[in-house]
Amino acid sequence: YACRKTLADSRPRIRGRFARNDEIEKASQNKWTYAGGDEGDEEDDNWTNILEALSANLNFP
């Protein structure tokens, strides 16, 4: 049991499931392309909308 557990713990996972070699390559490529995108402005707008919604909810009795 200990040997199998050690091997399982060391295997790469994607969303909690064991990943195949080709899935690992795809996931690493997607991670880098996402990090280099221009989503910063969109993310700022999302946070602004969230904060406005929260502040509107706090003003009600």
Rounded CA gap, 27 and 3, in Å?
27
Counts of helices then strands in the chain (DSSP H, E) = 3, 2
As a whole number of angstroms, the longest Cα–Cα distance in the chain is 58
Query: What pLDDT does residue 52 have?
Result: 80
- In the chain, the number of structural domains is 1
Over residues 14-21, mean pLDDT: 69
Q: Give the residue numbers spanning the domain of 31.
A: 2-58
| Band (37; pLDDT cuts 50, 70, 90) | low
Q: Which of 26-30, 32-36, 43-47 bottoms out in mean pLDDT, i.e. has the lowest?
A: 32-36
